[in-house]
């Protein structure tokens, strides 16, 4: 008798857990989703053109710096607009495993300790699978060579083919495109140049943390000092900032992230340098400020003698004016983009973090004396070895809010979420918003309660014998309390959810064995004012023959 009631309670407990965290399932009604990463957000493999041998060169921890210098360092070809590896025997490809998701999931699958530092869309992919999306059916990824321009025709052709293949694989369902960071510029370029194809295949475009008007502080320091893809102890085993600097100086994609020149900034992003000047024969230290267009001259002078040694050959890598010219044309294309009438556009941007806006250079040794004029920059070519300081604005640590919000498009919604540029991809508030926009929250097993408490409000058990029958009844009630009531329907329009459980035990062939049966009814009432009432009524009957 007691064991049957225990089974009832265990079943109810499991049922309540399902309310909070449903098991993964496949929802055939969902529209397909395509995830598009930003800069450095795709696995790249180097393919030896002679023997076809492949090896992952981005991202990797072991021998990362060496592989970057030998396989990823590149030169821009102005006749094609393409960046080509210095190693002429190597081609870079993006793996298409798992329908494109492998390349944008965990960027170094071999890494075990500290693996979270190389997560990209991993958490979002896991979350969407729990919502009912299925890899290769309704969930896809688009990795690309992020060194290239966002309007490189080769990349746009691949993107067009990807949209068409997803559309056909889903039986003619239009696609939800979710882009992150620079991926938003790639999507916007495609939408501007191929609006008819975009409208044919795309239902919604959701841009997350997109630098629509550039990332001025981030890019200015990148041109002069490089950048780190990972932070913390892991960067000691990763690509050095200098190697990254030499890679990115020939990447059109980085030039396309410079501050937009014709955007009406609230405060113009500046490059500031303490310099020593001779006035009337006397030495003076002054703070010089350069606007985005004036900064080009500083980049040119600072990188005049920049070179790399590739297999014994000294190759000059100055600030590339040919790439800048190409990037300026890209920005014109971006400025002409419009959302097609049949497509809805949504914008999520990061807030609440200090984000570089203007950059100031003084000597590293005297950072504590910033602004006192005692440590001027005497030679602009030395800027590469100086530590920058920043004037910061609100943003996600990389892209200012002002830039991310200024998409220049007809948006259905723009929502700011406190979060870090890459970390926002695993933010649960973002997941909740995406689930709503993707219409993935209609699953009857899904309960949007994030944190809840179950409080017993009533407990009653009664047992008695009646004409050879042992009857036991149980009644319990709980209140499930949650702070999150967003998205709940009007209580008056909803009915209680009623479920039943039956457990029986047969006597078998032995006529003297006992027989027992227990039945329970669970009633889940609609949520009201952050509370949800649950009732359990159970009766157990046993017969002793």
Q: So which residues are the catalytic ones?
A: 181, 396, 421
CA 349 from centre of chain: 11
- Phi (first) and psi of residue 502, to 5 degrees: -130, 130
Q: Which residues contact 536 (CB under 8 A, 6 or more apart)?
A: 8, 12, 474, 475, 476, 477, 520, 521, 522
Task: Report the distance separating Cα 217 and Cα 343, nearest Å.
Answer: 33
DSSP 8-state code for residue 108? -
Q: Which residues pair with 523 in a beta bridge?
A: 498, 535
Whether 26 and 132 have beta carbons less than 8 Å apart is answered as yes
Query: Cα Rg for the chain, rounded, in angstroms?
Result: 30
Helix axes 183-193, 153-169, angle to 10 degrees: 90
Both tokens assigned to 347? 């914008």
Q: Which residues pair with 478 in a beta bridge?
A: 456, 534
Residue 332: closest CA among 240, 423, 256: 256
Whether 244 and 229 have beta carbons less than 8 Å apart is answered as yes
Task: Report the distance separating Cα 368 and Cα 371, nearest Å.
Answer: 9
Q: Which residues pair with 119 in a beta bridge?
A: 106
Q: Omega into 59 within 30° of 0, i.e. cis? A: yes
Task: Report the distance separating Cα 10 and Cα 79, nearest Å.
Answer: 70
What is the DSSP secondary-structure string of 81-93? TEEEESSTTEEEE
Strands 44-48 and 175-180: unpaired
Both tokens assigned to 242? 């200098």
Whether 481 and 501 have beta carbons less than 8 Å apart is answered as no
- How are strands ordered across the β-sheet holding 387-395? 282-290, 271-279, 353-362, 387-395
The residue whose two tokens read 């000294």 is 314
Dmax over Cα atoms in the chain, in whole Å?
Answer: 119
What is the DSSP secondary-structure string of 336-349? T----TT-EEEEEE
Task: Report the distance separating Cα 85 and Cα 94, nearest Å.
Answer: 15
- 3-class secondary-structure state, position 476: strand
Q: Which residues contact 251 (CB under 8 A, 6 or more apart)?
A: 74, 76, 83, 146, 147, 148, 323
Task: Report the distance separating Cα 542 and Cα 525, nearest Å.
Answer: 31
Whether 194 and 79 have beta carbons less than 8 Å apart is answered as no
């Amino acid at each position: 008798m007691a064991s049957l009631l225990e089974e009832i309670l265990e079943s109810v407990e499991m049922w309540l857990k399902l309310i909070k965290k449903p098991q993964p399932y496949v929802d055939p009604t969902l529209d397909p989703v395509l995830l598009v990463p930003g800069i450095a957000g795709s696995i790249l493999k180097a393919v030896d053109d002679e023997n076809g041998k492949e090896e992952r060169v981005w991202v990797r921890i072991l021998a990362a710096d060496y592989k970057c210098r030998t396989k990823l360092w590149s030169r821009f070809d102005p006749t094609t607009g393409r960046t080509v590896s210095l190693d002429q025997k190597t081609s870079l490809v993006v793996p298409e495993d798992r329908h494109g998701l492998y390349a944008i999931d965990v960027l170094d699958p071999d890494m075990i300790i500290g693996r979270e530092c190389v997560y990209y869309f991993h958490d979002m992919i896991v979350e969407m699978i729990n919502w009912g999306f299925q890899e290769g059916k309704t969930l896809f990824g688009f990795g690309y060579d992020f060194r290239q321009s966002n309007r490189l025709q080769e990349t746009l052709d691949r993107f067009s083919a990807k949209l068409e293949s997803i559309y056909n694989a889903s039986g003619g369902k239009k696609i939800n495109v979710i882009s992150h960071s620079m991926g938003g510029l790639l999507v916007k370029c495609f939408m501007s140049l191929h609006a008819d194809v975009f409208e044919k295949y795309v239902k919604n475009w959701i841009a997350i943390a997109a630098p629509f008007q550039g990332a001025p502080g981030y890019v200015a320091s990148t041109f002069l000092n490089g950048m780190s893809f990972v932070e913390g102890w892991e960067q000691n085993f990763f690509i050095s900032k200098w190697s990254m600097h030499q890679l990115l100086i020939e990447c059109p994609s980085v030039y396309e992230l410079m501050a937009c020149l014709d955007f009406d900034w609230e405060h113009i992003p500046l490059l500031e340098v303490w310099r020593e000047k001779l006035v009337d024969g006397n030495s003076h230290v002054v703070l010089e400020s350069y606007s985005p267009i004036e900064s080009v001259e500083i980049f040119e002078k600072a990188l005049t003698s920049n070179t790399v040694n590739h297999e014994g050959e000294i190759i000059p890598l100055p600030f590339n004016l040919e790439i800048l010219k190409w990037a300026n044309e890209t920005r014109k294309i971006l400025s002409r983009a419009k959302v097609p009438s049949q497509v809805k556009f949504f914008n999520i941007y990061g807030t609440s973090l200090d984000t570089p806006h203007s950059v100031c250079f003084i000597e590293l040794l005297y950072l504590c004396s910033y602004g006192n004029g005692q440590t001027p920059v005497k030679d602009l070519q030395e800027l590469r070895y100086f530590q920058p300081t920043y004037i910061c604005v609100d943003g996600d640590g990389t892209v200012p809010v002002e830039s991310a919000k200024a998409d220049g498009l007809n948006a259905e919604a723009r929502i700011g979420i406190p979060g870090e540029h890459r970390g926002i991809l695993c933010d649960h508030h973002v997941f909740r918003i995406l689930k709503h926009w993707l219409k993935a929250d209609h699953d009857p097993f899904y309960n949007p309660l994030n944190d809840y408490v179950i409080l017993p409000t009533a407990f009653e058990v009664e047992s008695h014998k009646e004409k050879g029958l042992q009857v036991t009844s149980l009644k319990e009630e709980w209140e499930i309390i949650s702070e999150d009531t967003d998205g709940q329907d009007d209580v008056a329009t909803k009915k209680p959810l009623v479920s039943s459980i039956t457990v029986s035990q047969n006597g078998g062939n032995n006529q003297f064995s006992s027989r027992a049966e227990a039945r329970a009814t669970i009633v889940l009432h609609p949520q009201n004012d952050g509370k949800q009432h649950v009732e359990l009524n159970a009766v157990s009957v046993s017969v002793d023959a």
